[in-house]
Structure 1
Amino acid sequence: MADAVNAQSVSPLGGASFEGFAKVREIGPLGMISLRAKRDVPGLEGAFASLGLALPEQRRITGTTAKGAGWMSPDEYLILVPYAEVSGALANLAQALKGSHHLAVDVSDARAVFRIEGEKAGQVVAKLGPIDVASLAPNELRRSRAAQVAAAVWAEEGGFTLVCFRSVAAYVMGLLTASAAPGAELA
């Protein structure tokens, strides 16, 4: 379980950061649960409520990166909680969805999370994938790509949050660093 390990030891890049025309930083570790359940599953709204969260609408994230829930697909949600609270959140979900078809899995240690902040943070994100950053509303989530790897991105106060697989964290940090380097601004 995620909370059984020293939280500092699971950060993929040790809290790496870069300051260019935008600030890029790894913000892990973060507790993450992948919940697979169809929207009409009995108890789904109650399951989110048991965590103090609202069931997110399509392409939205409710709450914040510190504690929130994002819509990932018609039957998949990403639940964000403090790293030490994953076990309790899984237990709450299991109780609230007991008897309903679902799957809840701790994916905390399988993901890396980055924040891109600053006035020109959108330029960094725009360079990496086919996301219309200018039209991305606050708390709007997009599943897309960061160059050649799968990623989820959402706009949040002061910038963007990007989640990718842990196995490609160094690659994504390199992409973000190159995209945010001084002199690499878009015209």
Structure 2
Amino acid sequence: SLGSFIGGISTAWTSVVGQDLQQPNNSMSIEPISDYEASWIVAFTPIGMMTTMLFLGSNMCELFGRKKTALIHAFINIVVWLMRYLTTDLNVLLIAQLLHGASDGIAALVIPLYITEISSDSIRGSLGSLYMFGIKSGYFAGFTLVAVAPIKLSAGYMIILPVALLVGLLLIPESPLYSIRNNRIDEAG
């Protein structure tokens, strides 16, 4: 799943950005940060994820549908990578980290749900494993990317993936189960 792959890359990027930002003349042109500030860069992601999953996640899937919720996930990722690429301010980066967590929280709910609802019993398990495969392969790709490209430049490259995700999501149908539950039988086809 491209959505979980993006989440994996984002997590890998997060794990190394603190080290980069502690250096004078770092690639993001942010004033060097302390260990304490670096820890908050990492901590803001799970805070955003937990908050979203507790208060918004499942409600979003039912209120907006699986497709629109996935589109929100993609849009948030575009915003996150743009913020990371364009910022020279630690506070903006921290907000991006909260949004990254929120996006991961949405993905953790909507991706497995959509896969379950569109797949037949015979392939559901295989398709379901794509979510975790996406995360782990995203980790690998993210660590590889930041090893060969500066942190800021890698953030610029990453804008491409959520844009591709957004375009791809525009092409898929809504979950048939969600359509039936909302009396849109003709869309459930």
TM-score category, normalised to shorter length: under 0.3
TM-score of the two chains, using structure 1 as the length reference: 0.25
| Greater relative contact order, per chain length (Cα 8 Å cut-off, separation 6+) | 2
> Greater helix share, 1 or 2?
2
